[in-house]
């Protein structure tokens, strides 16, 4: 028995030590409150605690983050601050458009597109903080006045870049002056190779005739495979129609199996179209192609309609882009096919935004004639969207080159020329723009058709 109690003594001593400790721990731990409907995570048990209950979340492979760190919201990505509107001393660039004369209506439309570009550039902070301004000069669609404008913008206004002129005959006098003064000029002419002829300071910002006309003839032949005999009516005074009507189209018609009956030649400025329409009618073509500027193209079609002429029409975008052309009767117009410089019917948001704003401005312009009652077609900016894009692209070039109002003139001109020459994949309203070594641009030419009172794109 004595041996038995002797064995209990150590256990009794342990109990005397351990029990008070456990009692102290129990009294230090508060009684947990009833769990609310949505309980917070339970306190983390001490290392010597037993395994958590089955309903407790299993610990991750890695040690869980402290509660304060876990509750910390994800770090927000920095949001770029909106650019401040441009202010201060402006950077001024030159612009030549026909504000008066026979092309004044179209010069006004182009200026609307250019002013939209200036507005957008300045809303986005301008050129390195400085506002961009246009210095306009009215060339009146006259070569002599074009020379006057070029000299004024270069020598008096001392601009670092010039936009314009409007047509090939004006570019023939403007481009040599650009090279002489070493100032970059951005023209929306369509004569192939004209910029290449006057390198390195001249650029063509629109699609060239030898790129959009092959697409037009191909689409026409696919739509009208039985078309056999054609007549080309061409303005032989203006450089662009002259090239297209006398050099390019005869070859394209031959390759497409269309017989060319002949051409009917006239000069820009013609107003009496009776004899020309009579001659075309007497040749009995089943294909008529008219290559002319808007006033002449419109006048000839009006007379042809008056004389009861009817033929399949394959027309140049130079005069079709004027809504005046669409004043013809739907019967006369039905099935007309024409290639285009730009796809202003693209679904791209940037294109749609520009077209909507441009058309709203044109409709609000008192110098623009209203659309015919019930017409679904108003002006469309196939030419003008290129002018918008040209200013936007040059503005980006100037930003990248760090040009400011204090940049020396010769240096600014050189930087603009070099930057634009190396432009690649610029995201314009008309699509992606890349400048070729020859100074012009290239993209897939769209082709349109007039059907049931509407214009639709059939290529691409």
Question: Taking 50 as the threshold, does the pLDDT of residue 63 lie above it?
Answer: no
Quick one: CATH architecture of 210-340? 3-Layer(aba) Sandwich (3.40)
Angle of CA points 44, 45, 48, to nearest 5°: 150
Please answer whether residues 381 and 109 qualify as being in contact, where contact means their C-beta atoms are separated by less than 8 angstroms: yes
CA–CA separation, 93 and 161 (whole Å):
5
- How far out from the chain centre does Cα 432 lie? 7
Please answer whether residues 120 and 361 qualify as being in contact, where contact means their C-beta atoms are separated by less than 8 angstroms: no
Question: Taking 70 as the threshold, does the pLDDT of residue 5 lie above it?
Answer: no
Question: Taking 50 as the threshold, does the pLDDT of residue 96 lie above it?
Answer: yes
Least confident of 56-70, 167-181, 429-443: 56-70
CA–CA separation, 126 and 409 (whole Å):
18
pLDDT in tens, 180-234: 999 999 998 888 889 999 999 999 999 999 999 999 999 999 999 999 999 999 9
CA–CA separation, 317 and 215 (whole Å):
13
- Identify the three-state secondary structure at position 263: strand
pLDDT in tens, 112-168: 999 999 999 999 999 999 999 999 999 999 999 999 999 999 999 999 999 999 899
**pLDDT value of residue 343:** 87
Q: For residue 8, what pLDDT band results from cuts at 50, 70 and 90?
A: very low
Return all residues near 196 (Cβ < 8 A) that are at least 6 apart. 438, 439, 440
Please answer whether residues 131 and 86 qualify as being in contact, where contact means their C-beta atoms are separated by less than 8 angstroms: yes
Radius of gyration, alpha carbons of the chain: 37
Cis peptide before 7 (omega within 30 of 0): no
Please answer whether residues 446 and 343 qualify as being in contact, where contact means their C-beta atoms are separated by less than 8 angstroms: yes
Given CA atoms 98, 102, 105, 106 in this order, what sign does their dihedral have? negative
Q: What are phi and psi of 138, to 5 degrees?
A: -80, 110
Residues 258-267: what's their mean pLDDT? 97
Domain boundaries, the chain: 91-207+382-433, 210-340
CA–CA separation, 336 and 168 (whole Å):
26
Question: Taking 70 as the threshold, does the pLDDT of residue 105 lie above it?
Answer: yes
| Residues paired with residue 230 on neighbouring β-strands, in sequence order | 260, 287
Given CA atoms 207, 111, 299, 379 in this order, what sign does their dihedral have? positive
Question: Taking 60 as the threshold, does the pLDDT of residue 426 lie above it?
Answer: yes
pLDDT in tens, 291-302: 998 889 889 999
Angle of CA points 438, 411, 436, to nearest 5°: 15
Terminal CA-CA length for the chain? 111
CA–CA separation, 153 and 65 (whole Å):
68
- How far out from the chain centre does Cα 453 lie? 26
Closest among 124, 185, 89 to 392, alpha carbons compared:
124
Beta strands 259-266; 202-204: pairing state: unpaired
Residues 172-181: what's their mean pLDDT? 97
**pLDDT value of residue 65:** 47
HEC states along 188-224? CCCCCCHHHHCCCCEEECCCCHHHHHHHHHHHHHHHC
Question: Taking 60 as the threshold, does the pLDDT of residue 57 lie above it?
Answer: no
Question: Taking 50 as the threshold, does the pLDDT of residue 438 lie above it?
Answer: yes
Given CA atoms 59, 61, 66, 69 in this order, what sign does their dihedral have? negative
- Assigned token pair, 310: 């009817």
Please answer whether residues 265 and 236 qualify as being in contact, where contact means their C-beta atoms are separated by less than 8 angstroms: yes
Residue-by-residue DSSP string for 379-392: ---TTHHHHHHHHH
**pLDDT value of residue 80:** 53
| Residues paired with residue 93 on neighbouring β-strands, in sequence order | 134
Closest among 122, 117, 119, 115 to 136, alpha carbons compared:
115
CA–CA separation, 207 and 210 (whole Å):
9
CATH of segment(s) 91-207+382-433: 3.40.50.2300
**pLDDT value of residue 136:** 98
Least confident of 99-103, 226-230, 316-320, 399-403: 316-320
Task: Give Cα separations from 101 to 120, 137, 269 (angstroms).
Answer: 29, 13, 10
**pLDDT value of residue 50:** 40
Cis peptide before 165 (omega within 30 of 0): yes
| Residues paired with residue 232 on neighbouring β-strands, in sequence order | 263, 289
Q: Same topology for domains 91-207+382-433 and 210-340, yes or no?
A: yes
CA–CA separation, 210 and 341 (whole Å):
11
**pLDDT value of residue 294:** 84
Task: Give Cα separations from 297 to 215, 294, 319 (angstroms).
Answer: 21, 5, 6
**pLDDT value of residue 47:** 39
DSSP label at residue 164: -
Q: For residue 26, what pLDDT band results from cuts at 50, 70 and 90?
A: very low
pLDDT in tens, 351-388: 999 999 999 999 899 888 776 666 666 778 888 999 99
């Amino acid at each position: 028995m004595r041996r038995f109690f002797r064995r209990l003594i150590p256990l009794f001593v342990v109990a005397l030590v351990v029990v008070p400790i456990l009692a102290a721990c129990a009294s230090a731990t508060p009684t947990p409150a009833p769990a609310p409907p949505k309980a917070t995570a339970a306190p983390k048990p001490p290392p010597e605690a037993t395994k958590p209950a089955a309903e407790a979340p299993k610990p991750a492979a890695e040690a869980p983050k402290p509660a304060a760190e876990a509750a910390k919201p994800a770090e927000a990505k920095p949001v770029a601050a909106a650019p401040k509107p441009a202010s201060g001393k402006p950077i001024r660039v030159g612009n030549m458009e026909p504000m008066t004369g026979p092309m004044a209506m179209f010069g006004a439309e182009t200026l609307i597109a250019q002013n939209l570009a200036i507005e957008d550039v300045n809303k986005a902070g301008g050129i390195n903080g400085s506002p961009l301004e246009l210095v306009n000069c009215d060339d009146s669609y006259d070569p002599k006045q074009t020379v006057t404008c070029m000299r004024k913008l270069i020598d008096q206004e001392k601009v670092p870049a010039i936009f314009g002129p409007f047509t090939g005959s004006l570019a023939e006098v403007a481009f040599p002056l650009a090279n002489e003064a070493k100032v970059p000029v951005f023209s929306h002419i369509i004569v192939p190779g004209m910029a290449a002829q006057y390198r390195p300071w001249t650029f063509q910002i629109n699609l060239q005739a030898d790129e959009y006309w092959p697409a037009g003839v191909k689409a026409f032949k696919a739509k009208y495979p039985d078309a056999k005999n054609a007549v080309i009516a061409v303005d032989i005074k203006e450089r662009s129609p002259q090239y297209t009507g006398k050099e390019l189209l005869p070859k394209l018609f031959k390759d497409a199996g269309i017989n060319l009956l002949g051409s009917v030649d006239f000069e820009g400025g013609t107003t009496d179209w009776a004899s020309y329409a009579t001659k075309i009618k007497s040749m009995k073509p089943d294909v008529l192609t008219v290559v002319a500027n808007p006033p002449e193209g419109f006048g000839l079609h009006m007379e042809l309609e008056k004389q009861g002429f009817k033929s399949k029409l394959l027309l140049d975008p130079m005069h079709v882009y004027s809504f005046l052309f669409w004043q013809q009767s739907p019967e006369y117009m039905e099935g007309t096919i024409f290639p285009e410089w730009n796809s202003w019917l693209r679904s791209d948001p940037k294109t749609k935004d520009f077209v909507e704003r441009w058309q709203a401005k044109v409709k609000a312009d008192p110098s623009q004639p209203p659309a015919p009652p019930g017409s679904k077609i108003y002006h469309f900016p196939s030419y003008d969207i290129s002018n918008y894009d040209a200013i936007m692209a040059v503005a980006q070039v100037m930003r990248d080159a760090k040009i400011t109002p204090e940049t020396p003139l010769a240096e600014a001109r050189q930087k603009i020329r070099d930057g634009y020459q190396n432009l690649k994949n610029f995201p314009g309203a008309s699509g992606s723009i890349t400048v070729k070594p020859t100074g012009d641009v290239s993209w897939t030419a769209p082709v349109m058709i007039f059907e049931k009172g509407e214009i639709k794109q059939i290529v691409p």
